[in-house]
Structure 1
């Protein structure tokens, strides 16, 4: 293989990678816009007359979450199933934001804290620890202590082994 062929192959790989990233960016931009719309609807509860219309605001937010589910479904198709960690930085923040918004809606509706399963249902993603073919998204719930790491396709939690107490003691010199 000549040097020209090698660089041609590398250039083809980089171009394909850039195309995937651009497709992801487009979907994430639309998802961010929807998240801003939900935030705008929900922020109005902080106005003096906001408490009167909480049920209608929550209903409107729930309607927008249907759009979020569709956008997340579209996002799932934009990256290769086995390359989640390569691209997850593109959508990690926006998923944290929509997770907060889902938690806020649940709180406004029922004055209770949201569960991981409720967020997964609202966002249309699976919240389990088992991994399918890697092509699904999971919520990033770091501030709710409901996940192991920020991201969308997390492996199942692995318990960490604790060293024996004897191993923690200092050796006598």
Structure 2
């Protein structure tokens, strides 16, 4: 083997080892992000057992925990080589979808409103990070919205159990608007499209709840108790600007 060939092979081996080390590091950091997000998901899961009077405080406490999510994402970003976001983003995409879900669902629980993609990116600390290393991809945000929509029929049923017959009305309108917005998108035949197709079942579930409420003439007799967190204040808490 001549010297030039030997040096060429050594260079390839070095590149392979470097990429392997980078991959292992990013996978470990992505697991850390996923663990943090699962803790937030556990907090969000507790809303189904909370009295309505305690919801606002619980949402605020959950929103404060996104500081840990931002820290995990920042560490992940530091480990991504410059200009190589698209090479490695599949490593953490699943965890980022879950983080987007957590941000969107927390904001909805507190305000009853939709968290925009730009706001979600701010909550996850993306605006402080170089875009060639880290960003919130559109499909990750959309996956987060679908995951949130999957929770809303259960939230509507829980509200009925608690005697709040106004919440299902708002939830039904929100889910229908979200489903209509997704219909405008020209989604390719992938996992996102399959998950969108499942949204119609969430619409059906909230419509069934509404049917039962109206059949019993409950919705018109009960005042609507809307979420009472100030949107700007909650967003500032979520994004760590408070």
TM-score tier, shorter chain, comes to: 0.7 to 0.9
CA deviation string 1:130-151 (max 9, x = no partner): xx66134224213456x999xx
Aligned mates of 1:13, 1:84 — CA distance in 2: 17
Question: CA shift at 1:32, angstroms?
Answer: 0.5
For 1:131-146, what aligned pairs fall within 5 Å after superposition? Answer: 134-139=132-137, 140-143=140-143, 144=145
Question: CA shift at 1:116, angstroms?
Answer: 1.6
Contact 1:103 1:119 in 2 (8 A): yes
Residue of 6, 9, 12 corresponding to 1:7: 9
For 1:98-137, what aligned pairs fall within 5 Å after superposition? Answer: 98-126=99-127, 134-137=132-135
Q: Mean Cα displacement is larger for which, 18-27 or 102-111?
A: 18-27
CA deviation string 1:96-138 (max 9, x = no partner): 11101100001000011111222122111139xxxx6613422
Q: TM-score, normalised by structure 2?
A: 0.53
Higher normalized helix content (fraction of residues) = 2
Matched, 1:25 2:27: yes
Task: Name which structure has the greater RCO, CA cutoff 8 Å, separation 6+.
Answer: 2
Contact 1:126 1:138 in 2 (8 A): no
Aligned mates of 1:85, 1:118 — CA distance in 2: 22
Contact 2:34 2:95 in 1 (8 A): yes
The verdict on how the C-alpha distance between 1:31 and 1:105 changes in structure 2, with shifts beyond 3 A counting, is same
Question: CA shift at 1:52, angstroms?
Answer: 3.8
How many residue pairs get aligned? The number is 143
Contact 1:44 1:50 in 2 (8 A): no
Aligned Cα RMSD in Å? 2.5
Aligned mates of 1:148, 1:36 — CA distance in 2: 31
Structure 2: 5+ residue stretches without partners: 146-181, 188-242
Structure 1: 5+ residue stretches without partners: 150-173
2:82 aligned counterpart, secondary structure = coil
Q: TM-score, normalised by structure 1?
A: 0.73
